Structure 1
Amino acid sequence: MTNSEKQVQQKEIFGHPVGLYVLFLTEMWERFSYYGMRGLLSLYMAAELVGDDRGPGLGWTDAEAIKLYGWYTMLVYVMSIPGGMIADKFIGQKKSVLIGAIILVLGHGTLAIEEMWAFYTGLILIILGVGMLKPNISTMVGGLYKPGDIRRDKGFSIFYIGINTGSLLATTIVGLVVAKWGWHAGFGLAGIGMLFGLLVYVWGQKYLVHVGNKTEESEKKDQVSLSEVFKNLIASPMHLAIVVVLIAVSVYYAGFVMTGVDHWGYAALFVFLSLVVGMLMMIYKSLRSQVEKDRFLVVLLSFLLVIVFWGAFEQAGGLMNLYAENKTNRMLFGWEVPTIWFQSLNAGFIILFAVTVANYWAKRKLKNKEASSLFKMATGTIIMGLGFVFMVFAVRDFNENGSSGMYWLVLAYFFHTIGELCSSPVSLSFVTKLAPVRYASLMMGLYFASTGLGNKVAGILGENASEYGEYTIFVSITIFTVIFGLLVITILKPLKRLTHGAEDNEGTFNEEAEGFELADGEN
């Protein structure tokens, strides 16, 4: 390495490496493109073929639109698993982010074309692009700092500000563009945003020469690979038989009993889940101590919490988005508020209340009150679930008056955001604390899979609103999330015993209180 390279690496702005701001801007524009497009997706699919000032949509039913939205958001997270593996085994995070950014530019650009082939191609490219970029850029942020560097947490805080800023800008600006120039102009603007991010990333490569490179094999010697786990599964007749039976039953049920255009999609999903079950069985079998086994069981419960949380929360981009479009009175002083603007409430509330929520939990911990990660996750699930009470009132308002007030959505998003600020920042951190060290990478992949499955659950719930009604769906979500969260709190003491003090020696202020991300499930 040359001296000039070393000097570039050491260059700082406001006490942090310049590379942090390169990644900040890259992620800000990537989130701009993702949330801008996400806010439009279900609305565009459900818009009439004749169209209004925004141009023709696809003319799908709400159920069809939410169905595809659920598959799309699930696959975005699931593809993070192979995206992370490709980076780890073959090309490193830096090249993976570059490839992902290029694919995303192509994907968003393709969506701007008014053709059905372009619509599906664009979605596929975005899924692949996010899968390559998302899990790797955060890893690069951590790589900018040496182990033990006290600036690391602040660096992540700055990085997460970029995420929230990107979402807030996207849902605000894209909404105005769509209202004036139409759907595909909005999709195109998302692509332009991603192009800015790509250009910043390419320009900033000189500040990232020492991070995101391919990991040396010697550094991975303590990690168990996915291939090793499945080799062990094949060598275990009993566990292999269980997986084979699960796959056979799943394929038969999804392929030949279920109906609908996506029944083979469910078959593939069930096969994937069957393989995950097999992997979990082999991991548990290989654990060397009772402490590891106990903690592993708690991690599995945390995955269930993640699925429940995002299964409810992600109504935002689907059912709640369509409800804002079709059944909410959006007139404000004679001007109609763009539907996508309601998607900006989450980012805005995060920016306004993140520090307040973090300080609340920090003060509880100082007073020796309950502030464990499981308690935060359960509390966040309850608060988020209570937000759907306002959607219940919104439906009643609509039934009585023919439209519902915007304030119901504002209150719902406020509660959802407070719940997210309690739950999301600690969930991934909690998994990394309890997961067996040699399986850390695999457990992180399973965390992304859980988040993706939660998004799919959200799609299933949303599409069923067409059959059972929004009122039933919102009431059901409220009851289930509150009861589930209370159940976790009820058994909190035995669960904490199973963690064997994994959180007992933490300081009051840690990375969980430093940075907050949007509903990406990655905190």
Structure 2
Amino acid sequence: MTDTTIPASEKSFLGHPRGLVICFLTEMWERFSYYGMRGLLLLYLTQHFLFSDERSNVIYGAYIALVYIMSIVGGVLSDKYLGQRKAVTFGAILLVAGHFGMAFEGQGSRETLITQAGNYEVQAEGRDNRRQLFLDYDGESRRVIFRSTHYAMLGDQRLLPIGEDGTGDYEVQRRARSFIQNICALANLGCAGPEPETTLYLNGVSYHIDETADGMIVEMDGQKIALSEHSETDILLLADATTAAAPDTSAPVAVFADGTFSTEVEQQKLYVNILYISLALIIAGVGFLKPNISTIVGDLYPEGDPRRDGGFTLFYMGINLGSFLATWTCGILGIVYGWAWGFGAAGLGMLFGLVVFQYGQPWLDGKAEPPSREKLREKVFGIITVETACYASALGIIGVSIALLMNAGIVNTLAMITGIGMFVALIGYSIVRLKGAARTRMWAAVYFAVAQIPFWSLFEQAGSSLTLVTSRLVDTNIFGWNVPTPVFQSLNAGFIFLFAPVVAWLWLWLAKRGWEPSTPVKFAIGVFGAGLGYLVLVGGMSGTGAAALTPVFFIFAIYWIHTISELMLSPVGLSAMTKLAPASLVGLFMAAWFVYSGLGNAMSGVIAAAAGAETVGGQIIDVADAKSNYIQVFSSIGYIGMLIGFLMLLIAPLVKRWMAEANVEERPLSTDSVGHN
């Protein structure tokens, strides 16, 4: 970096160009609106619109994938025609419209309980884990409680049901492999050690169970008998509809037995369409604003200005501040007072950001203007100018986004095809056009772009499956306050505030001693940590009864592990990308980073969909079954994430050689996840 003289005429704030204040506040309010809405979105889809868990998670994955992928369009149009100032203004307007559109919720979807005794409309009060279901039964408003019982069958003999606390006349216990044995099994290394065991405890006597392709076989009195597990779900209608969260089950009840009910959902099409349009407006708005506000920050500093890294650090502090404040304000308002309050607060935050950016235009000192004003005034079709055409392109983004959100299942496939096509194109270019160190450095850049996929597919469960688990299966009561689920998403930003300086200091301390890990090693640690976080949560969920709530400590633990992992991966990864890519392709590689981020986010929706549970009125029917499924899915992705991280660690020396790392100086660690936030 060459020293430059800071212009004496520059108007500054705390030693930085005063335009940084405008960018800081604009981005803070934009992230406030984005994360405020994100914290409520899954609960809104499952509880207000009564989408299934699978459908809700796929929509969520498609939405966050499109946010990243569509940013490419906004970045290209601003570079070639609009300039960053106009693009940010237009994006902010779209975001205000989208967030306020989310506040138009309607009356919500209607769900009908169909039973042999008749059809009953399910009514709901409250949101999140405060939600209670009611229906009119025999002229009384009765609260609906789902009671699940689990039992085993030995031959044609039914054993008595197991209790909700995991005890009873029988109990089936499974001992899984140890962590090391699971890793060995996944890698097909043939490690020695005891195989998983399943044991039946019946009337105080234990019986070994063989799990075969035909099911579970238990040997009793010299005879092999097939064992199968079943569950029933009863609907208990409490006569006292005002019963608190822990109902008095001794109150008069009516019971609909298992197999005698089904449900039917009727949605308000108008408001479902408003939902899709609002999400599409937000996708387009982020696409125009997000890549360009960061570019403005860079343009505020002359080439080689030593203040640049400090300026970006302050800028990214605004991102995390907006995220932290949003999940407390929008999250609490949306859960306690109503969805419209939460989404309306997000829209109001973005409106503040738009006003600040417009008011602060003079502070940008002419930066971020269009490359050519004459070009913007050129006619492209009739009276339509280039500038008008750029704005009109948002209609195409919105239309495509609506279509993809309504058919969200195909987004993952499209993102995969795009990712493979881009990978082939980049590698092909490196082979045909580059030689020597330039070629291998480009390979390293492609590696970092692709290697982020598993991390984001696991990390982004925070807004989907992890949100639903927290709401449904975690004891969120802290010091007597039932904490709204969206508030827990503030832990990521809070931990970044606390630990980013510590991690930055750690790298400096290690670097002075020659011990600092290389960028590929940091990447591997990040992916490994993303998987490890889920195994910690699984440990907490498995340590309680079949239908018992998980201690909230384990939610703090997984967010902390994921935040530290994020600091290992995202800032250094994007920094390395900008330094490794050929100078003529830096813009293309930034687009590649967003494409592969989007692919990871799309895959996160698929993973979350696999962890879904059967619901009525947005509430799970069988707590034990849902908990078991979450444990199974989280265990799988945890081990897979750790295995991928381990394999990345093995190839790290090769990637380091590709980088020619002695000539690549890493940017100091910022207090934000550049690639994610």
Could you say which TM-score interval applies, normalised by the shorter chain? 0.7 to 0.9
Does the C-alpha gap of structure 1 residues 518 and 190 become closer, same or farther in structure 2, counting only changes over 3 Å? farther
Identity %: 40
Q: 1:261 to 1:78 in 2, by over 3 A?
A: closer
CA gap 1:369/1:281 in 2 versus in 1, 3 angstroms:
closer
Question: Is the 8 Å Cα contact of residues 397 and 405 (structure 1) preserved in structure 2?
Answer: no
Q: Structure 2 stretches of 5 or more lacking a match?
A: 1-6, 106-270, 374-405, 614-627
User: 2:651 — aligned with what?
Assistant: 491
- Once the two structures are TM-superposed, the CA of residue 112 in structure 1 deviates from its matched residue by 0.7
**Whole-Å separation in 1 of the counterparts to 2:294 and 2:410:** 34
Residue by residue over 1:209-234, the C-alpha shift from the partner in whole angstroms, topping out at 9 and shown as x without a partner, is 432123479xxxxxxxxxxxxxxxxx
Larger radius of gyration: 2
Alignment partner, residue 435 of structure 1: 581
1:496-515 alignment, distance < 5 Å? 496-501=656-661, 503-504=662-663, 506=665, 511-513=667-669, 515=670
Deviation of the 1:399 alpha carbon: 4.4
Amino acid at match of 1:495: V
Q: Which residue identity is paired with 2:91?
A: G
The DSSP-based 3-state class of the residue aligned with 2:41 is helix
Deviations along 1:114-165, one digit per CA (max 9) or x if unpaired, are 2222211110000000011001111110110101111111111110111010
Contact 1:164–1:518 (CA under 8 A) maintained in structure 2: no
**Distance change >3 Å, CA 263–CA 108, structure 1 → 2:** closer
Report if the CA contact (8 A) 1:8-1:207 is conserved.
no
**Residue in structure 1 matched with residue 43 of structure 2 by the alignment:** 43
Contact 1:9 1:208 in 2 (8 A): no
Change (3 A) 1:23 1:97: same
- The residue that corresponds to 1:60 in the other structure is 51
- Structure 2 counterpart of 1:293, one-letter code: R
Deviations 1:402-452 (A, max 9, x none): 211111100010000011111111111111111111111101100011111
Structure 2 matches for 1:368-383, cutoff 5 A? 368-383=514-529
Give the Cα–Cα distance (whole angstroms) in 1 for the partners of residues 311 and 582 of structure 2.
27
Deviations along 1:179-211, one digit per CA (max 9) or x if unpaired, are: 332011101100000000000000000111432
Structure 1 segments of 4 or more deviating over 6 A?
none
Paired with 1:511 and 1:266, the residues of 2 have a C-alpha distance of 32
Residue in 1 that maps onto 2:322: 166
RMSD of the TM alignment (CA)? 2.3
Q: How many residues align?
A: 461
Write the distance in 2 (CA, Å) between the matches of 1:263 and 1:355: 40
1:271 deviates by 4.8
Which of 310, 327, 337 matches 1:154?
310
C-alpha separation between the residues in 1 aligned to 2:664 and 2:440? 19
Q: 1:8 to 1:343 in 2, by over 3 A?
A: farther
2:559 aligned counterpart, secondary structure: helix
Q: In the alignment, is residue 90 of structure 1 matched against residue 246 of structure 2?
A: no
Of Structure 1 and Structure 2, the greater helix share is in 1
Shift of 1:68: 0.4
- Say whether 1:475 aligns with 2:638: no
CA distance in structure 2 between the aligned counterparts of 1:133 and 1:325, rounded to whole angstroms = 32
**Structure 1 stretches lacking a partner, 5+ long:** 1-6, 48-56, 218-259
1:461 corresponding residue in structure 2: 607
Normalized against structure 2, the TM-score is what?
Answer: 0.65
1:424 counterpart = 2:589? no
In the TM superposition, what whole-angstrom CA distance separates every residue of 1:343-362 from its partner, at most 9, and x where no partner exists? 00000000011100111112
Distance in 1 (CA, whole Å) between partners of 2:467 and 2:80 is 39
| Residue 124 of structure 1: aligned partner | 280
Greater strand fraction, Structure 1 or Structure 2: 2
Give the Cα separation in 1 of the matches to 2:286 and 2:441. Answer: 31
C-alpha change, 1:72 and 1:505, in structure 2 (3 Å) is closer
Aligned to 2:395: none
Q: Which residue of 2 aligns with 1:28?
A: 28
Give the counterpart of 1:133 among 289, 292, 303: 289
Deviation at 1:281, TM superposition (A): 4.6
Q: CA deviation at 1:400?
A: 3.5
CA contact (8 A) 2:444 2:655 kept: yes
Which amino acid counterpart does residue 212 of structure 1 have in structure 2? A
Amino acid corresponding to residue 333 of structure 1 in structure 2? F
Query: Judging changes above 3 Å, is the alpha-carbon distance between structure 1 residues 479 and 158 closer, same or farther for their aligned structure 2 residues?
Result: same
Q: Secondary structure at the match of 1:314?
A: helix
Say whether 1:70 aligns with 2:230.
Answer: no
C-alpha contact 1:395 1:470 (8 A) present in aligned 2: no
Whether the 8 Å CA contact 1:346–1:518 is kept in 2: the answer is: no
Match of 1:235 in 2: none
Cα distance between partner residues in 1 of 2:636 and 2:367: 46
- Cα distance change of structure 1 residues 353 and 130 upon mapping to structure 2, 3 Å threshold: same
Q: Residues 148 and 262 from structure 1, CA distance in 2 versus in 1: closer, same or farther, beyond 3 angstroms?
A: closer
Amino acid at match of 1:477: I
Which structure is higher in RCO with an 8 Å CA cutoff and minimum separation 6? 2
Q: CA deviation at 1:286?
A: 3.8
Equivalent in the alignment of 1:315: 461
